[in-house]
Amino acid sequence: MKYPNSGKVYEKPNVSASNRGMSLEEDINKTNRYYLNEDIAVIYKKPTPVTIVKVDYPKRSAAKIVEAYFKLPSTTDYNGIYMGKYIDFEAKECESATSFPFSSIHAHQIQHLRDVIKHGAIAFIILRMTHYDEDFLIKANDFIQFYDAGKRKSLPYRWITENGFLIPKTYTKPCDYLLIVKNVFEL
Amino acid sequence: MKYPNSGKVYEKPNVSASNRGMSLEEDINKTNRYYLNEDIAVIYKKPTPVTIVKVDYPKRSAAKIVEAYFKLPSTTDYNGIYMGKYIDFEAKECESATSFPFSSIHAHQIQHLRDVIKHGAIAFIILRMTHYDEDFLIKANDFIQFYDAGKRKSLPYRWITENGFLIPKTYTKPCDYLLIVKNVFEL
């Protein structure tokens, strides 16, 4: 779960029966392609931010980056447009069965959610509780309110089930979060 | 101007007197920081997309990417939210004094502009004509209309001055494009 090892390239495969080893990122990307192809929404994952230090330019072949480092993201991973609205969210997988630790979300990302909410964004977190094979949509406002209360260092699973919205999965839309967005944000 | 050498890291410094060697990307990023700090808008450049092939994990130091390649972007470089609206744009520098070649914009990026327009985005191109030290905002709709007409392989400078909107520069906002956005898109 921790940066910089959270990208799908380096993470251990998630081999639950129902999702056939697909990571949350892969499921969201597949769903986003469906949304794009069906003219439902235009939402993309941002590239992983890296600081490029050294590039080789071999003759007759592509430029090769030979020294680069992972950089902390200043924003959330996903944004785009749906029904004319600016959409912004972060997606996280959580292996613990009991709670989602705040340490898994960077302070910059929480600040970014505050910033976009102020300007009218539809902002949320998609949280996959891998132990239960459940994906929840949590409104960024609800998350921030709990976070700011400062009483806990994690979101308890019970809080997640009571305040989050279970996201349906289908083969073509393995994480159909916009169905929830439409209802929860009353679009 | 051509990918993958268009990133600010590799480009020749632009040394006109008025902008003191700042690239368009640096000017937009600085302006975006001003917009963010002043609570005007939340707009970021997306990280440069790279395909990471090999990462070393040295003991007691940060993960080091030792093999990676530049990837063609599937979207434009900038997006965010302003006055509750989804904003999406591409920024390009043009060294030619006579025209801006379409080959400088990837087909994927033009398709992306079409996609977001369909969903209600405020979409445009910021074009720096370095020879004149002028920055223009061109509505993506106007650009696409000219592009689709298929009569030319570039935007003539004259067309740019007649259809584009000159973007004001100040020290704190070296590319104050939202001033133009507000008027041109009647927000």
The tens digit of pLDDT for each residue in B136-147 reads 999 999 999 999
Res. B22 pLDDT band, cuts 50 70 90? confident
CB contact under 8 A, A80 and B86: yes
The answer to whether the bond into A156 is cis (omega within 30° of 0) is no
Report the pLDDT averaged over residues B18-41: 90
| A72 at B interface, C-beta within 8 A | no
The Cα of A58 is separated from the nearest Cα of chain B by a number of Å equal to: 12
**In terms of CA atoms, which chain A residue is nearest residue B83?**
A119
pTM: predicted TM-score of the whole model, two decimal places: 0.87
- Whether A36 sits inside 8 A of B5 (CB atoms) is no
- Write down the pLDDT at residue B15: 39
**Using the beta-carbon criterion (under 8 Å), do A81 and B84 form an inter-chain contact?**
no
Q: Give me the mean pLDDT over the B25-50 stretch.
A: 97
Assess A101–B contact: CB distance below 8 Å, yes or no: no
Residues of chain B with pLDDT > 70, as a percent, come to 89
ipTM of this complex prediction, to 2 decimal places: 0.87
- Cα-Cα-Cα-Cα torsion A141, A142, A143, A147, nearest 10 degrees, comes to 100
What tokens does A24 get?
């949350």
How would residue B49 be classed by pLDDT, with cut points 50, 70 and 90? very high
- Work out the number of other CB atoms within 10 angstroms of the CB of residue B2: 8
Give the pLDDT score at A22.
Answer: 85
CB contact under 8 A, A63 and B70: yes
pLDDT tier for residue B20 given thresholds of 50, 70 and 90: low
Which tens digit of pLDDT belongs to each residue from A109-120?
999 999 999 999
CB contact under 8 A, A70 and B68: no
- Using a CB-CB cut-off of 8 Å, the residues of chain A touching B74 are 44
Question: Of all helices (H) and strands (E), which one includes residue B142?
Answer: helix B140-149
Q: Using alpha carbons only, how large is chain A's radius of gyration in Å?
A: 17
pLDDT of residue B168: 97
For a pLDDT cut of 90, what percent of chain B falls above it? 83
Report the gap between the CA of B157 and the closest CA in chain A (Å).
32
Q: Find, among B127, B103, B125, the residue nearest to B112 by Cα.
A: B125
User: Residue B18: what pLDDT?
Assistant: 47
Phi-psi region of B116 (alpha: psi -120 to 50; beta: other; left: phi over 0): alpha
- Provide the Cα torsion B87, B93, B98, B99; round to 10°: -50
Domain B24-184, CATH = 3.40.1350.10
Nearest CA of chain A to the CA of B102: how many Å?
22
**What six digits make up the tokens of A16?**
């639950």
A118–chain B Cβ distance below 8 A for any pair: yes
pLDDT of residue B182: 96
Distance from CA of A167 to the nearest CA of B (A): 23
Spell out which residues of chain B touch residue A63, defining contact as CB-CB under 8 Å. 4-5, 69-70
- Which residues in chain A have their CB less than 8 angstroms from residue B86's CB? 80-81, 84-86
Q: How many CB pairs under 8 A join A and B?
A: 117
Domain boundaries, chain A: 24-47+73-184
Nearest Cβ partner of A81 from B42, B66, B121?
Answer: B121
Contact A39 B118 (CB under 8 A): yes
DSSP per position, B32-59: HHHHHHTTSEEEEEPPPPEEEEEEE--T
Q: Which chain A residues are within 8 Å of B9, Cβ to Cβ?
A: 52
Flag whether pLDDT at B6 surpasses 90: no
Tell whether B47 lies on the interface with A, counting CB pairs under 8 A: yes
Geometric angle at alpha carbon B6, from B175 and B73, rounded to 5°: 95
Q: Is A15 within 8 Å of chain B by CB? A: no
Is the minimum CB–CB distance between B41 and chain A shorter than 8 Å?
Answer: yes
What's the rounded Cα separation, in Å, for the pair B70 and B68? Answer: 7
Mean pLDDT per block of 10 residues along chain A (187 residues) reads 38 42 92 98 96 93 94 94 98 97 94 98 98 98 97 96 98 97 94
Beta carbons of B81 and A9 less than 8 Å apart: no
Q: What is the pLDDT of residues B73-99, one digit of tens each?
A: 899 999 999 999 999 999 999 999 999
Residues 21-40 of B with CB under 8 A from A: 36, 39
Contact A66 B69 (CB under 8 A): no
Q: Does A65 touch chain B (CB under 8 A)?
A: yes
CATH topology of domain A24-47+73-184: Trna Endonuclease; Chain: A, domain 1 (3.40.1350)
